[in-house]
Amino acid sequence: MSFPHDEIHRAGDLAETRLAKLSRAAGRRNGWKIYESVRIPDPDGGRREIDMVIIGGNTMLVVEQKHWAGSFVITKEHHFVQNRNNGSQHNHDGVADRIARKADLLAALHNKRLGLTGDDELDFRVIVAMTHQRLEWPKIPGDLKAEMVNEAGFIKLLETTRPGELNQDLVETLEGFNTWDEVHLNGGLLLKGDVFGLGLGKDVDEWFAARTSDVNANLTQRRSLFSLFSNNPTEVHLSRGSKNIEAKVPFGLTVNMHVVGEKRSREVDWANIERIFVSKPPAEWAAHETSNKEKAS
């Protein structure tokens, strides 16, 4: 059976959410703290996303999650080649190498922020978690740059490892990064990317641009017959920390955003939106980019 590309990504997103929930439950007793979709600056340009970063004591786990069915092999160049159940094959290139590089970049940012050198530098582990239960595994090369675990093995790691008292400097580092913005559409479709503007007028746009915390927008769409005769069929409640705004949205207004994987930004009609989450801006030390091109891999 062949599955559409969007469905494969949807299954992967659900698996990431499941692993994060399981990790929070498994790691709570030992003091592990979970961060999802951490976006870090890349000195080569743009930003890179890390599926999950887990910290405890002075230890950091940098995790890449894959939800592949079928089987896979790892070539001598450390390319991960997936053999799907529908008979197709896909080369995912250097999965372990990519997440190891992200881990190096993240650790370097932490060390530089605090001026750490030598033995004081951060300890970290690089992990690829394969979460599909019906995946056939090959022999794993001994020189791979990441540990390979299945879902059960990853959860066991969090349940059995006691990292000690959480390093607050490490917490401050992870809190300095942002995540993807999310626009939830009516019908369940989710757009991830960067929201540049709400399109609700000068005052709201200035309020939005001045944010230092997450912004949430919850919408009420009028569905009655009378809404057909209204110029403002949508009502939106915007919250930013303790600051709240109520607004009525006329027909035709749009949110400007760049969706992951698309070359250009797009306009999203407020009439099609159910709710919006906009991540706080990154800390100044975590915001450096040398290119406007977004790198999400």
* Residue 1 confidence (pLDDT) above 70: no
- State the number of CA atoms in the 13 A half-sphere of 79 facing the CB: 10
7 pLDDT band (50/70/90 cuts)?
A: low
Q: Residues 48-85: pLDDT tens digits?
A: 999 999 999 999 999 999 999 999 999 999 999 999 98
Q: Residues 125-152: pLDDT tens digits?
A: 999 999 999 999 999 999 999 999 999 9
Within the chain, residue ranges assigned H as helices are 5-27, 95-114, 151-160, 168-175, 202-209
Q: How large is the average pLDDT for residues 239-263?
A: 91
Residues whose CB falls within 8 Å of the CB of residue 74, separated by 6 or more in sequence, listed in order: 80, 81, 138, 140, 141, 144
> What is the rounded average pLDDT for all residues in the chain?
89
Greatest extent of the chain over all pairs of C-alpha atoms, in Å: 69
- How far, in Å, CA of 248 to CA of 41, rounded? 36
Name the strand (E) or helix (H) holding 44. Answer: none
Q: What percent of the chain has pLDDT over 70?
A: 89
222 pLDDT band (50/70/90 cuts)?
A: low
Q: Where in the chain is the domain with CATH 3.40.1350?
A: 5-175
* Residue 170 confidence (pLDDT) above 80: yes
Q: Is 45 left (phi over 0), alpha (psi -120 to 50) or beta?
A: left
Geometric angle at alpha carbon 194, from 193 and 196, rounded to 5°: 150
* Residue 172 confidence (pLDDT) above 90: yes
Phi first, then psi, for residue 122 (nearest 5°) are -65, 135
225 pLDDT band (50/70/90 cuts)?
A: very low
3-state secondary structure of 284: helix
Specify the DSSP class assigned to residue 99.
Answer: H
Q: Residues 232-249: pLDDT tens digits?
A: 568 899 999 888 998 888
Paired with 244 in beta bridges are 239
- How far, in Å, CA of 37 to CA of 211, rounded? 20
Q: How large is the average pLDDT for residues 173-182?
A: 96
Class of domain 5-175: alpha beta
pLDDT at res. 242: 86
